Amino acid sequence: MELDSALPDGAEVVVVLGETSPFDLAENDIAELTERMAAADRGEVEPAQAVFARLLAAR
């Protein structure tokens, strides 16, 4: 994904790699990622357009 501008300092970004690319995470990071993915599966997400608008407004 490409943005027209840089993310503001302190912006939180979660990156999930494909299942074929192994990576190491601490147990608490895995738990947080698992919960965030479950929330997304339940539809508990902020629409991308709202996220981008908030990021652009913070510039």
Chain centre distance of CA 45:
10
Q: State pLDDT tens for residues 12-36.
A: 777 776 666 566 788 898 899 899 8
Ordered by start, the domain boundaries in the chain are 27-57
- Rounded CA separation 35/52 (Å): 23
- Encoding tokens for residue 53? 């608008």
| Terminal-residue alpha carbon distance, the chain | 19
Q: State pLDDT tens for residues 30-52.
A: 899 899 889 989 989 888 898 89
Determine the pLDDT at residue 13.
Answer: 78
In the block, tokens 């999930």 appear at 16
Q: Where are the alpha helices (H) located in the chain, listed in sequence order?
A: 27-41, 48-57
